[in-house]
Amino acid sequence: MTGAGRVQKSIRPPRLEPGARIGIVSPCYWMRDEPFRRAVGVFEELGYEVVPGASTRLREHRFAGTPEQRAADIMAMFEDPSIDAIVCARGGYGGNRVLPLLDYEAIARHPKIFVGYSDVTGYLTSIGQRAGLVTFHGPMLSTFGQRTEPYNVDTFQRVLSGQGDLRIDAAAACPARTLRPGLARGALWGGNLTLVVERLATAGQLDTNGAILLLEDIDEQLYAFERMLLQLKNSGSLDGIRGLVVGEMLEMGDKDVPFGKDTDDIVLDICADLDIPVIANFPCGHGDCQATLPIGHEIELHAEGDAPYLRIPEPPVS
């Protein structure tokens, strides 16, 4: 079963200017007060004005309000002309209840930077495919809730400020690995592996044809990681990709009887018949270092030598 597909032309949101007003939404779980305040302070120190949305004050069990309340807050941020960009507070299960409630035509009429990762993957890809808006896989408030990594701040501002011909290297604390060398160019799509697999055989299935695919995950068993990759492959989702960027795979567990392969081995095994460049451990995902990367925008994957990197030829913002 194929998904709804992507719109033919992507919309680049306006760039992030100094002093911009950044709206904060909680599209999944709610965030604890102390790390929330610390993260807001980080953005304010960078010169931005932070505007917490209604969902950041809501609680319904583990969720930041009902699906209807979370959808309303996201739409309010997109439709508020005083808000320049939207950053998610944190991830967590629950976005699948919200996605059908969003007005994608209204989002396309009011394009804005939208940033998140993990379970926010569902929002990034749905907004990208249904509204045609370039979104951003990058740090959330939860990223800055405990510590401030200069790498995260630097890539966030460089990518969102509208600089052209950007080279995104891996962080020194998170060196990327070339699993299969080569050069590829295509629109970047993907995010959290669990969320990408979740949308298979639904109207929201990710259209991966011609894409450079990004995958990351955390807290999975090695056998489950292989199972999800096999499901992607068997669904045809890997057939048309031009390259594969594997982010950090953290806290991948094993059983008493070892699985016998690590994540790199599993990736190379499943992608053995694909003639594409593959890199691993790129700083995007649940680790301390998180690059800001444009979803639905053309990039280059340089899997050459011991220091693979990504290049963004044209600014993903206008």
What is the side-by-side order of every strand in the sheet holding 21-25? 49-52, 21-25, 85-88, 113-116, 135-137, 293-295
Query: d(Cα 217, Cα 197) in Å, to the nearest integer?
Result: 12
Question: Could you give the residue range(s) of every CATH 3.40.50.10740 domain in the chain?
Answer: 21-160
Q: Are strands 113-116 and 135-137 parallel, antiparallel or unpaired?
A: parallel
Question: What are the angstrom distances between the C-alpha of 299 and each of 183, 214, 245, 273?
Answer: 11, 12, 11, 23
Closest CA to 281 of 122, 156, 172, 195: 172
Q: What is the pTM of this model?
A: 0.96
pLDDT in the model for residue 1: 31
Between strands 278-282 and 177-180, the pairing is antiparallel
CATH class given for the domain over 21-160: alpha beta
Q: What pLDDT is recorded for position 305?
A: 87
Q: What is the pLDDT of residue 6?
A: 64
CA distance to 12, 123, 226, 286, per residue, from 79 (Å): 16, 17, 41, 30
pLDDT of residue 271: 96
DSSP states along the chain: -------SS-BPPPP--TT-EEEEE-SSB---HHHHHHHHHHHHHTTPEEEE-GGGG--BTTBSS-HHHHHHHHHHHHH-TT--EEEES---S-GGGTGGGS-HHHHHHS--EEEE-GGGHHHHHHIIIII-B-EEE---GGGGTT---HHHHHHHHHHHTT-SSEEEEPBTTB--EEEE-EEEEEEEEEEEHHHHHHTTTSTT----TTEEEEEEEES-BHHHHHHHHHHHHHTTTTTT-SEEEEEEEES-B--SS--S--HHHHHHHHTTT--S-EEEEES-SSSS----EEETSEEEEEE-TTS-EEEE-S-S--
- Our CA angle for 178, 182, 187, nearest 5°, is 100
**How far, rounded to the nearest angstrom, does the alpha carbon of residue 208 sit from its chain's CA centroid?**
15
Burial of 305 (0-12, 13-18, 19+ CB in 10 A): exposed
Average pLDDT, the chain: 95
**Burial code of 139-168, b = ≥16 C-beta within 10 A, e = fewer?**
bbbbbbbeeebebbbebbebbbebeeebeb
The whole-number pLDDT of residue 137 equals: 98
Nearest to 142 by CA among 91, 192, 195: 91
Structure tokens belonging to residue 68? 């209807």
pLDDT truncated to tens, each residue of the chain (318 aa)?
Answer: 334 556 657 999 999 999 999 999 999 999 999 999 999 999 999 999 999 999 999 999 999 999 999 999 999 999 999 999 999 999 999 999 999 999 999 999 999 999 999 999 999 999 999 999 999 999 999 999 989 999 999 999 999 999 989 999 999 999 999 999 999 999 999 999 999 999 999 999 999 999 999 999 999 999 999 999 999 999 999 999 999 999 999 999 999 999 999 999 999 999 999 999 999 999 998 999 999 999 999 999 999 889 999 999 999 999
CB 48 within 8 A of CB 74: no
Q: Range(s) for CATH 3.50.30.60 in the chain?
A: 166-312
Q: Is CATH 3.90.79.10 the classification given to domain 166-312?
A: no
CA distance 181 to 203: 34
